[in-house]
Amino acid sequence: MLLGLSQMSNTDGTNTWTRITKGGNPNIPHIAKYFSTKGRYEEVNPHLIEDILAVNISVLQPPSPQCRQIHMTAIIRHGTRYPTSKNARKMQKLYDVVKSDAKAQHGWLQEILTRWTMWYTEDMDGRLVQKGVEDLRHLAVRFSKLFPSLISQENLRGGRITFITSSKHRCVNSTLSFKAGLTHLWGIKDMEFDHAVNDALMRFFEQCSRFVEEVDNNPSAMTETDKFKQGSEMKRVQQKIADRLEVPYNLITDDMAEAAFYLCAYEFAIKTENSPWCRLFDEADAQVMEYANDLKQFWKRGYGFDINSKASCVLFHDVFTRLEKAVTEIKSGQQVSEAVTIQVGHAETLLPLLTLLGFFKDSDALRSANFASQSQRSFRTSLMLPYAANFVLVLYDCGGGDIRLQPLLNEKPVTFSDLTDQQASMPLYEHVKESYRNLLQGCDFETECHSFKTNTEV
């Protein structure tokens, strides 16, 4: 059931989204569900559009009523942010072209030309916006409702909730916002709660020499993405944008198309506005733009190269060390000393770890030539990595040494890829460890990241 500020009758995300968008909500762009890593969390969980504090407690279904939550680790992406300096420059360039060359007389274009002004500046540089503050405050409240025995005032005051963050301002401010959500919820004014900055965990990708050299700073690693951007699907999108603006085709590059897509996405994510910029795309165009970004994420952070996921070995071991400590304490009759770990990082933190764990792996790799055949792919960053995306692992003690582990992504159950038994959504912890035995015994960050070898394509 869904519990929030009000009771809700529709718990089906797809139907809710369809009902809201097709029902005529003028504030939601018709292409909102294709915004990839620039998308709102609400498009992944559409029931939140009507009630931002609603939770679906039915997703937590332990095998017996006596199971109790004993520990959770949450790895969270920062909330909604401003564009980076690089994207702000791209958007400014597109805006200049539209202002100087667009000849069409559409009402939406006249709105851009006469009423809309370029307000994105380079000095915004990815900083958290007010919506991002709210993203994390609301997430904290929802977590407290989903996991009341773990995210509790008693555990917070008792120092059994640990906060760790990337050093980036958007992550630090997201961490502060999450804490503020809890202290406001419980009216706590007599205490403050520390957080630790740990880039070794939250920005491991910067400290993995092999990843930096072989993928991040290697243009050839993005060959498939570049080929798609120069391919027929993207060219068609560019031509349609040029036709809608009535400008010469050569003025709309793939970077310009991306900038237009970002303008639509940012206006919606930051201001909840259905911007006239969104009229430059139909749904087919948006699917092409989404695939272009999925290609980039696949080859740069996902399954494209082995080192992408192996860079997250340090975070993988940190997570399982915390789980193992909690299990050991429970089995020895002690109170779990760390009930909750909240770790705030980036999409680039989450995706390599999800990849290492085997989530959202398709039978075929994403490539420039298979856009059409990948329409039903699992690897869709619009669903995986919106702002405030979160991956949660919850330990349950079901008595008699029966310890179980439930994974959730964005407050929805997911299943470990190698576990297919009836309790795949909440398997025995020992079965999970066994399925990742090779990683637990290996996956050494120093070996993987600083011993150079041929980078294998997956």
Q: CB–CB of 164/342 below 8 Å?
A: yes
Print the SS3 string covering the chain: CEECCCCCCCCCHHHHHHHHHHCCCCCCCCCHHHCHHHCCHHHHCCHHHHCCCCEEHHHCCCCCCCCEEEEEEEEEECCCECCCHHHHHHHHHHHHHHHHHCCCCCHHHHHHHHCCCCCCCHHHCCCECHHHHHHHHHHHHHHHHHCCCCCCHHHHHCCCEEEEECCCHHHHHHHHHHHHHHHHHCCCCCCCCCCEECHHHHCHHHCCHHHHHHHHCCHHHHHHHHHHHCCHHHHHHHHHHHHHHCCCHHHCCHHHHHHHHHHHHHHHHHHCCCCHHHHHCCHHHHHHHHHHHHHHHHHHCCCCEHHHHHCCHHHHHHHHHHHHHHHHHHHCCCCCCCCEEEEEECHHHHHHHHHHCCCCCCCCCCCCCCCHHHCCCCCCHHHHCCCCCEEEEEEEECCCCCEEEEEEECCEECCCCCCCCCCCCCCEHHHHHHHCHHHHHCCCHHHHHHCCCCCCEC
* CA 259 vs CA 12, 32, 95: distances in Å: 33, 15, 9
Q: Which residues contact 420 (CB under 8 A, 6 or more apart)?
A: none
* Residue 78: active-site member: yes
Catalytic residue among 47, 71, 78, 138: 78
Joined together, the tokens standing for residue 36 give 């990839």
Asked whether the beta carbons of 240 and 232 are under 8 A apart, the reply is: no
Cα torsion through 175, 181, 184, 187, rounded to 10: -90
Per-residue tokens: 371:
């856009």
Separation CA 132–CA 144 (nearest Å) = 19
Active site residues per annotation: 78
